[in-house]
Amino acid sequence: MDTHAFKVTHTDAEWRAKLTPEQYQVMRNHGTERPGSCALLHETRQGTFSCAGCDTPLFGSTLKFESGTGWPSFNDPLPGSVETTTDTSYGMTRTEVHCATCGSHLGHVFPDGPPPTGLRYCINGVALNFAPAA
């Protein structure tokens, strides 16, 4: 991911100024928020979840579901909004999800979700903003 040219870029100092310390830790250092700690976990209104780093729309609320994991979970991202890489940290292999526009770490995707896709995009809530539908 480090060699990828993203449409939105910032210096480390600019990212630190733009993001809260928790957002910076998750989005720029590939961290994970504490499960159950984000208000967006319980967001049920219709609307769009976007990247907290660049405002790119990432997930529609219609494919959000309660996974019981403690993080907002979605069946599928909006087309072209996310990219994935292989994450081999912590002695396991997972598929990392990051914003296709700014490269910020969002979470991971697992093949244990409900229909229609069978996928579970497990996303850190601090990496998201929510805009309710008009």
Catalytic residues, by residue number, are: 122
Instruction: Give the strands of the sheet with 82-87, arranged side by side.
Output: 64-65, 73-74, 120-123, 105-110, 94-99, 82-87
Closest CA to 85 of 6, 4, 1, 27: 1
